[in-house]
Structure 1
Amino acid sequence: MSSPNPFPEQFADRLAIRELVDAYAHLADRRDAQGQAALFTEDAHVAVYDGEPGAEPAQTLNGRDELAAAFGSLRNYDKTTHFNGQSTVTVDGDRATGETYCLAHHLWTEEGQRTLMVMSIRYHDAFVRQDGRWLFAERRLIVDWVDRRPSTA
């Protein structure tokens, strides 16, 4: 007897993980730091790198409380838009890994000058399914480049 077709389950898992990644960006742009932190496991680890990982991370965060505090810093900007691009995901049972590209746009005004900062980011993620729901277990945020320039309204 042949084994059942795993495609529907894999498709559902990949869709759920993409929705998780997109929810992170959506909540970031809505300034919902608690909602963002709830997308992570209780003991999640996040590391931020300026360029390829190899050196020590510029910032590390552990657990939902530290994540929520850090995510709250987005309130310093007038507006943000996180635009997720291509992504890859490999699912292995209740665990998965993936990489997602993101262009993160940040607008603020300082001393009467409006500024736009665009960051090219790659997220290297480890996901885990807990109680039937996919969550981030680990996220490595890699900043490939940053462009800062004056912006007009």
Structure 2
Amino acid sequence: MSKKTMEQKIQEVWDRQEIEQLMYKHARSLDRMDGDLMKSCYWEDAIEEHQDPIYPELFSWKDNAWEFVPEAMKGFTALKATQHRISNILIELDGDKATAETYVWAYHVGEENGVEKEGILGGRHYFELEKRNDEWRMNYRLTIFDWNQNQDATAIWSDKVSDKYIGKRDYTEASYDYIEKHKKK
């Protein structure tokens, strides 16, 4: 077994960090309904394999990831709010290729027959990733859900709140201006 040089170790740390950021950007793309950001996470020839146990009519796919993006964005318009969390990230590097597993926790608020519903899902993502021209992107993503809850929404909002969904699901979200403004400093 050969010892890795300090430069190789630093490169592996850098690659893992780049892959983690890619996964977080993908989650953000869903919550902000940012199709351009979502596409930027996949290589053009990538495959997305996704089944949703709560909204299978909105989010079922096994084909080209770039073609999945507009379908995913269209599906998310039926929801009032979403939040995706990625954790327990395990990355296995092999030069310019990598595999990874993460846990995913997804929260969706939709409406059925005039009643707000919460769909909460827990599962895992499996990734195959590749670095091309010094940039990591996904070649393949498989989503497997292990559990879900679907119930009437339980949120309690003050009567003084005019818009209970303050966070926006598009480019008008304050975080876009915040991030851009602070990049320039």
TM interval, shorter chain, is 0.7 to 0.9
Q: CA deviation at 1:141?
A: 0.8
Match of residue 39 from structure 1: 41
Higher strand proportion (structure 1 or 2)? 1
Calculate percent identity across the aligned residue pairs.
Answer: 25
- Which structure has the larger Rg over C-alpha atoms? 2
Counting matched residue pairs gives: 145
Distance 1:11 1:74, change over 3 A: same
Tell me the alpha carbon deviations over residues 9-55 of structure 1, each in whole angstroms, 9 at most, x when there is no partner.
1100000000000000011100012320221011001112579xxxx
Which of 77, 80, 103 is the aligned partner of 2:79? Answer: 77
In structure 1, C-alpha distance between the alignment counterparts of 2:83 and 2:110, rounded to whole Å: 12
Tell me the alpha carbon deviations over residues 125-148 of structure 1, each in whole angstroms, 9 at most, x when there is no partner.
000011211000001111111210
Distance 1:71 1:49, change over 3 A: closer
Distance 1:49 1:87, change over 3 A: same
**TM-score for the superposition, normalised by structure 1:** 0.87
Match of residue 101 from structure 1: 103
In structure 1, C-alpha distance between the alignment counterparts of 2:95 and 2:4, rounded to whole Å: 16
Any stretches of 5+ residues in structure 2 without a counterpart? 54-59, 156-185
Match of residue 12 from structure 1: 14
Is the contact made by 2:109 and 2:118 (CA closer than 8 Å) also made in structure 1?
Answer: yes
Match of residue 159 from structure 2: none
Q: CA deviation at 1:3?
A: 5.7
User: Which structure has more RCO (C-alpha within 8 Å, separation ≥ 6)?
Assistant: 1
Match of residue 50 from structure 2: 48
